Amino acid sequence: RTDMALSLAVTRRLLPRLRPTGSRGFYHMHGDPKQVVRVPSPLSVARLTKMDYKINGMMELRDITPEERTKHFHLRKKRAEIMRGAGHSVDEVNFPSLRVSEYLAWTEFPAEVKAVLIDRLEAQGLVRDQLLEDLSMRFLLEEKETLDEILSHPKLTPHAEQIRTVLNSIAIGLPDWMYFANTEGLLLGQSEPIDNRPVRLIWKARHIERQAETGAAVRQALSIGEVPVIYLRGSDEGRADWGETNVPGTWIGFHSSRTDPTLYSFVKLLTSALDIKTGAPREIIEVEVKKEIPGLPDLQNTFYHKDLTCLYVPGHAGAEQSTVALIEDAVTPESIERLKAAGVDVTPIPLEEGLMQGLNSVLLWGEKHGGAPGTQSLALMPPDCPTLMEVVKSRGFEVAPLEFGSPAGGGNWECETNFALRGNEPMTPDAQEVYARMGNRLLKRANLDTHFRFISAADLDGFEWSLDNHMH
C-alpha cells in the first residue's frame, strides 16, 4: 500500500494541472471556446437494424429497413453540417468496442451472477478474449437450446428473464446508446481540487434494457480526459432530466418515470464538495409530470424526460427576455406554482407540439447569447411547431428545421446531444486512479461517499449496486 501511495503521489506531480476556463461549467460550456458538441456519428446510428424493446409510449417494435438506415445516415451528416456552419465544434462519436464484462458492468446483477454468465458464454464459444459481438448474441437468442442451457445454472436461473433482456439489447446493438443526453451523463464542470479536471456524472439507467449502455458511457468519458463519478443510490438519466431557467443558479429537477428525484439535492452538495462554482445549482425546483390526462393514460411514459417537456430559451439585449417553454398540460399545477414562486418565466406550449417532440430541440448559444466568439445562435428543431418556433425566433435564434427520423423512436435532436471540453488528452490508468482517489477523498470528507463514487479504468468491470425504490 505504501508503494502504491508513493507511486500515485509521483504520478500526480507529473500530471499537467489544467487552467480553469473562467466560463460557466455545469450542464454545458456555452461561452467557452473549447466547448464541443458531442453527437453519435452517422454510421453509429445507421448500423442499427432492429428495434426490439419498448420502454416508453413513443417506441415502435420493428425492423429498421435499409432505406431508413440510409435516411438516418444522411440526416445526421446534415446535422453536423448545420452546426459547423454556425461556427460550433462537433465531435461525431462512434460506438466503442466493449468487453463482455463492460457490457455487464453496470447491469443490476450481483457480481457472482455476472462472473458465472461470462464463464458460461465463454464455454459455449460465444465470447473469446472478453470480446462479445452482437452477431454472437443474435445467434444465441435464435438458438434457444444453447441459451436455455446457459441459464440453467442455479446462480443464473433466478435472473433468467432479465439476462435475456440484456442479451437482446446487446444483440440489436444497444439502439438507445445514441441518446447522448442520457448516455453521456451530465458535465458537472471543472473541479479546482482535482487539478481543474472536467468531472462527468455518469448516467445509470432505470430500465435494465438500457443498463449495458453505461459501460460505453464510462469508456467515452475516460477517452476524452474526464474524471467520471457515478451515483450509487438510484437511477440517474443524465442531463436529459435537468433544466436551466432564467433565474441564475435555479435549475429544474425533473420528476417523471426515470431519474430518482432524490438525486438533485445530492448533486448540489456534490458540486459544492468539488468546488465547482460556475453555473452550479443553488436552488432546484422539482417539476413533476401528471400520471394521466384525457387521451394519455400513462403520461409519465410519454413525457418521461425533462428534455421532452420543457426547454430553456435564453434572450439577449434587444430580444425577448429569457423563458422556459413548458408543456403546462403535462405537469402538475403545483410544479407550475413552484416555478413561478421562484421567479422563473414560463411560456406555455401546446400539448400537440410536445407530442411532436418540439421541446426536444437543440439550442446552441452563439456570441450574442454569451457563446464563443464568432459563433451563431442556432436552433435545430423539428418542423411544424409554430408556437415554440416563434418563442425561439423572437429571442434571436436562427431556426434550422430538420426532420429527426429516429430508428428507435422516443426522442429527437436534443436527445442525441451532449457537451464537453475539447483538448483534454486521455489519461493513463495510473493517472485515472490518482484522480479517482482524490475525488473519493473529497466525497468522504463531505459525507457523500455512500451516494457517489469516482471511477477509473480499474472499475470498467463495475461493482455491485441496485436501484433503490425512490421514485414514487
Find the mean pLDDT for residues 179-205. 94
Distance CA 409, CA 52 (A): 11
Distance CA 214, CA 208 (A): 11
Sheet containing 378-381: order of strands: 362-364, 378-381, 398-401
pLDDT at 29: 86
Number of residues written out for the chain: 472
Alpha helix (H) ranges present in 255-384? 263-273, 333-341, 351-355
pLDDT tens digit sequence for 8-32: 554 555 555 555 544 457 998 888 8
pLDDT tens digit sequence for 286-296: 999 999 999 99
Q: pTM value?
A: 0.92
Find the mean pLDDT for residues 346-364. 95
66 contact partners, CB below 8 Å, separation of at least 6: none
Find the mean pLDDT for residues 129-148. 79
Q: Which uninterrupted H or E stretch holds 217?
A: helix 213-223
Strands annotated E in 241-308: 242-244, 250-255, 283-288
Phi, psi of 323 (to 5 degrees): -150, 165
Least confident piece of the model among 35-44, 126-135, 287-296, 372-381: 126-135
pLDDT at 134: 62
Alpha helix (H) ranges present in 238-324? 263-273
